[in-house]
Structures are given as structure tokens and as C-alpha cells.
Amino acid sequence: MSNRPRSHFKRIPRQQNGIQNQFNLLFLNLLLYEIKILLRIIPFGAMVSMKSKNFKKIPLFLNIVTFCIFLAACSPVPLPQALPAAQNNTLKTTSFRQTPSNFMWGVSSAGYQAEGNETNSQWYFWEQAGKTKHRSGKAVDFYNRYEEDILLAKQMGVNAFRLSVEWSRIEPRPGEFDENQIAHYKRLIQTVRKHGMTPLVTLVHFTYPQWLLEDSDRDGLRGWEDPDTIELYLRYVDRIAREMGNDVRFWITFNEPNIWLPIAHLFGKTPPGTHSPLGFLRSGWNVLKAHARAYDRIHGINPQAMVSANIFQFQYNPFAKTPKSYASSADPMNARTIEAFADSDWFIDGLKSGDFAYAIHANQIFKPVHYASETSARNNGTVALLGRFDYVAFDYYYRFNKIEQIMNAHETWRMPIYPEGLYNVLMDYQRRFHKPIVIAENGIGTFQNQPRADGWRRSDHIIHHVYHMQRAIQDGAQVIGYFHWSITDNYEWGDFDSRFGLYQVEAQTDASLKRIPTDGVAAYQAVIAAKGATPLLLQRYPGPRR
């Protein structure tokens, strides 16, 4: 969230949930307090360079931070409930307005999750080290069967296809570009266009070459903690944009950096698996700079390009932003703490304000209060962040209303579905940025394609989220595209349990990897044909009683 709404939130009384809730709040706030102290003893420049005489003090604080995270996450305590929404979210089946003829109805995919047999990325080595439940293997073999999946999308009426290019395939060794792989991705993109679809290309979808983690500078920094990675990334971006720029207008530089970086560098759940607040800050600052410079590089090659980075966005029930002014919204202190770690808008706010340190402060992540007025962080690196995005892109899946859900978010089939939240998010982004908006991912997880306990089906999910998207469009949100995640089941970053596909694929048990349509296929086909969720579709797909 941005710094502007923060000052307009009003407090609501916290519910008393017993001793567990009090301990939970205590440790969550202790966590932020300890990190604040850590940041106060280390100048911002030292975070980036790691050349501080106080650096020897870090291990003690890291132990405290890790301990606090553990304690704060232990209790399954419900968060306070939100104030009621200012407008009625009840389905209105009597009103309907079609989406524009140029609206992008899309599906999404990602290289490592779908292609299979990618052995040069950091994720492959993470799997080989036994850090995951399952290994990706062939995945769903999108690398060889991409035209089949593109045709399945076309049959639904889809006119846009999101995909990613795998950096580790393009540049398997530093400075050595694989011409065959470049040709492969050019064919893939041209196939998308041949079938009447607009390609939306992601340049980094969580994965990058393993050699970025093996090659170290003299300070011992690796991967995205190393500022040298920015130039290496730009070399890759430049080559891709020159090779494919004539066929691609819409680009995403980084997928979900607001959760990818803290999960990888702060919580250590994904590669490189570190537990370092400073590592998170360094990697965040470097990725922001890399995005801004990639934005300029792509526009230098194609001035008509549309460039952004997509943000993972939850709807937080305790402080859902209502259609009223921010003054009427609820933002309890403990919910704000949860948001800071799980889904803050520090990345996109950094682009808007041009100041990474202030974005971190404004979003209450580490509260580096004495850095809030500094401009050195913004100027350091000689890169302008300000306004470096042409459209707002975000992913929306579910809401949180319990602390335990944040720590178990990988069990996507248990996460509460909240279509109304999509309206809230869209209107919030419209008020804050006044730019075109793309829903880059929206989908529903099941456990191995078994029915969900809450009764939500993929078909209901599509219709109801599209309905609330249309509400936002009618109320002024400049939504230009909706992409359903995903065209097929795929490898969900550690296992094949979570299923999101419009088409079911039994990657572990079916050697033929047959694409089997789910109930979502007919629903999405119907909603695309009707250019939205019509009253008839809302009646046909009522969703579970809530």
C-alpha cells in the first residue's frame, strides 16, 4: 500500500481474542522493533555494499528476528473484522455492460512451471538439493506442446496469452547466448500471434540462471543481492527486446517481486534460501533499479511498448479498502503488520515515488524512520525510478482473515475465495495511479483437482470475479485485460498438488500428459463470448452459499 492511504486510515478497536492474540501482537510488533533497531545501526548505503564496521552486530539481530517470526506465526488467531463496505457488493443480475471490443481476455503460463526439463536455473538446483516435495521434471511439456495449448486457448475465444522467457535457457553461461533457444521463443511468440492473440511476455518469472548464485564479487554478494546482476539482467533484456520487440508490445519485467524477494531472501523458503533482512533490502533495491533501467531499454527499442511488473495482491479482510474515502477504511495495527510482510506495495510505490527507502518506510515493512526523508537512496545508483511503469499489473487470488493462512498460503485449496475483493483492489489502484490496469493472474487452487471444501468451483470462480471486475470498470477503473491462471495445471513451485489449470494434466501419473477440460473451460468460453458475466451466467453459476 502507498504512503498516501496510510495517513487517512482510522483505527478500529481490536477485538479481544485472549492471551494468544496478545502474544501474537506482541511478537509481531517486537519483530518490527528489532528490525528497526538493526536498520538504525547500519546506514542504508552499508545495506547495499555490506561494508559497515557495524556489520559484525548483525548475527545477534538476525537470531532475534528469526525467533520473533517463529513466535508470531505460531498462533492461529483470527484478525479483527473489517468495517462494512461502503457500497453494496450483492450481485445485481439485472444490470450488465459488455467489456470493450479490444479488451484482453487471456490465459497465463510460466516457463519453468510448464515447459519442463530446464536444468540451468536456480530452481532446478534447489530441487536437486531436496528442498521441494516434488521435482518439476517434464512439468506439462509446454516446451514441446505449446501450440497444442495455444489452440486450446483459441477454442475458448481467448485473444491474449501470457508466457515467460527463461533467462537460463537463453543464456546458460555468462555472456553465451543460445541461438537455438532464442529461435524457440521467437517461434512460440509468433505462434501466439498467428492464432490471433496478443502476447504478454514476462522476462523473469521467479527463475534466473544458477550461475548468478555461483559467481561472486569481492564482497561475497550473489544473485540479486549483487548490484552487478543489474547489468547482467540488462544484457539479457536488451537481447530479448531486440529479437522479439516487433512481435511483443506488453512486457512484464519481474513476476511478483513483492513476495518473491522476501520469501527468497527474508524467509528462506525459495532459492537462494537466505534469512537476511539486509539481503531482502539489497535485492529489492537492485530489482527496482533493474526494472527501471529495463523499462528505459525496452522503450529505447520500441517506443510503443507497454512495460510493467506485476504485483501479488491479497485482499485483507481486516482492512479491505472500501469504495468510500480512505478515512472510512479499517486498518488495525496487527493487520498492517501482516500486510507489510505478506503483500505490501513497496515495489510499485517505489516506482511511483522514485524512492525505495521511503517506499519501505511508508509501507511499514522495517520502519526505517530516520531514512524516510533521505534522498541518497533514491539518487544512489544513478537511476530514476519515478513513473517507470506504463500500466498496473497485479495477481489476485484470495483474501486473508487469519494469521495462520499467511504461513500456510502454499495450501492454496484452503485459502478463502473473495471475489468482492477484486473490486476493492481495482478501485484502489485506479485512485492511486490513474493508469491502465491488467489483471495478470486470477485463478483458484484445488488439491489434485478434488472438490474444494468451501464449495467453490472453477466455473463459479471465473464468473464471479469477472462480475466484480465489471463493477470496477463501470465505476471508472481502466481495466484493459483479464488473464486466468492458468491454461493447464503445472508445477506449483515445489509440488504438483496445487491445481490451477483450466485443463487438468496429471503430470505425475499420466505419461501422455493429456489435457482434460475442467468445468472452467465452458464458463470462460461463455464469459468471453458474452464479453462479461451476464445475468444469465450469474444465475447458471451461483457459487456456494456464503
Averaged pLDDT, 415-432: 92
CB 182 within 8 Å of CB 170? yes
pLDDT band for 28, please (50, 70, 90 cuts).
very low
Q: Are strands 498-499 and 446-447 parallel, antiparallel or unpaired?
A: antiparallel
Which residue, 532, 515, 495, is CA-closest to 155? Answer: 515
Whether residue 280 has pLDDT greater than 90:
no
pLDDT band at 478 (very low <50, low <70, confident <90, very high): very high
**What are 205-237's pLDDT values in tens digits?**
999 999 999 866 657 789 999 999 999 999 999
Tens of pLDDT, residue by residue over 190-200, are: 999 999 999 99
- Burial per residue of 358-375, b for 16 or more beta-carbon CB atoms within 10 angstroms, e otherwise: bbbbbbbbbbbeebeebe
CA–CA distance, 112 with 121 (Å, rounded to integer):
9
CA 216 to chain centre: 28
What was the pLDDT predicted at 290? Answer: 94
pLDDT at 373 over 50: no
Span 384-401, mean pLDDT? 82
Q: Angle 85-86-87 (CA atoms, 0-180°, nearest 5)?
A: 95
12 CB-near residues (< 8 Å, 6+ apart): 80, 83, 330, 332
The Cα 89–Cα 179 span in angstroms is: 52
Tell me the residue type at 438. V
pLDDT of residue 441: 98
Please report the beta strands in 139-289, taking only residues with DSSP state E, as ranges in sequence order. 160-164, 198-202, 250-255
The least confident of 111-125, 167-181, 302-316 is 302-316
Quick one: how far is CA 113 from the chain centroid? 15
User: Which has more pLDDT, 259 or 173?
Assistant: 173
Is a pLDDT exceeding 50 seen at residue 332?
no
pLDDT of residue 285: 85
Residue 267 pLDDT = 87
**Which residue has better confidence, 243 or 41?**
243
Long-range CB contacts for residues 411-416, cutoff 8 Å, separation at least 24: 411/447, 411/498, 412/445, 412/446, 412/492, 412/498, 412/500, 413/445, 413/446, 413/447, 413/450, 413/452, 413/453, 413/498, 414/453, 415/445, 416/317, 416/454
Residue 417 above 70 pLDDT?
Answer: yes
The whole-number pLDDT of residue 2 equals 36
Cα separation of 425 and 416, whole Å? Answer: 16
| Alpha-carbon span 37 to 119, nearest angstrom | 41
The grid cell for 346 is 513497496
Say what percent of the chain tops pLDDT 70.
66
Say if residue 179's pLDDT is above 80: yes
pTM of the predicted protein model: 0.79
Check pLDDT > 50 for residue 186.
yes
Domains and CATH numbers, the chain: 3-540 (3.20.20.80)
Q: How confident is the model at residue 398 (pLDDT cuts 50, 70, 90)?
A: confident
Lowest-pLDDT range of 127-136, 295-304, 376-385, 535-544: 376-385
Rounded distance between C-alpha atoms, residue 202 and residue 158, angstroms: 18
Residues 295-317, mean pLDDT to the nearest whole number: 89
| AA identity, residue 356 | F
Mean pLDDT score across all residues of the chain? 78
Report residue 95's pLDDT band, with 50, 70 and 90 as the boundaries.
low
